[in-house]
Amino acid sequence: MFTGIIEEIGRVVAVDDHGTDARLVVHGPLVTSDARDGDSIAVSGVCLTVTSLGDDGTFVADVMPESMARTTLGRLAPGDPVNLERALPANGRLGGHIVQGHVDGVGQVVARVPGERWEDVEIALPPALARYVAEKGSITVDGVSLTVTTVTPTSFGISLIPATLAHTTLHRLAEGDPVNLEVDILAKYTERLLTAERVPTTEAPR
């Protein structure tokens, strides 16, 4: 589990693209400082498993076909910056919200409006995800935990504070850019509980 609080901006060192899957080499000295093989690291919002570690602050991770199809990782190239976050330790602080690193779909930046010290961004989202997005609710954009400021039938708004602009890749967003979206897991479970077919319970024999 993650919280959507980015620890550092990493850099893609190499991409071994196999077509339907890929292998990434990412430089992230902070997130690899205590990492071991098998650990989870979120790369721009996608939970990946560390398969090996380098002596230069790099780690290797495989990207499976499901992630290639449903996220932006298949578009990465050497030199691209990525948001990195280690999995939350059991005694850690939940500074953002509950993030699984399981991307639900890809959105697209519609507009970006600079403010005095912040920026307002509007993002279009797949129709199937719209029902999970609520004003003042939480959403994850490229791995960053954010508060939804506005909602329309086809898009939502977020505000990027100075800290987010300085310490994540979101300061690079431009109109038309794709972004990884993960909606609030609590909304998805609530829907499932309310709409799932009820299964009769059987009384245990005495």
User: Using one digit for the tens of pLDDT, what is the confidence trace for 57-98?
Assistant: 999 999 999 999 999 999 999 999 999 999 999 898 889 999
pTM recorded for the entire structure: 0.92
Instruction: Measure CA of the first residue to CA of the last residue in the chain; give whole Å.
Output: 40
The CA distance from 132 to 136, in Å, is 12
Q: How many other β-carbons are positioned within 10 Å of the β-carbon of residue 23?
A: 14
The CA distance from 206 to 116, in Å, is 70
Compute the average pLDDT of residues 160-185: 96
Helix (H) or strand (E) holding 42: strand 40-43
95-129 residues labelled b (16+ CB within 10 A) or e (exposed): ebbbbebebbbbbbbbebeeeeeebebbbbbeeeb
Picking from 92, 103, 112, the residue whose alpha carbon sits closest to that of residue 158 is 112
Whole-number pLDDT of residue 197: 75
The CA distance from 87 to 127, in Å, is 29
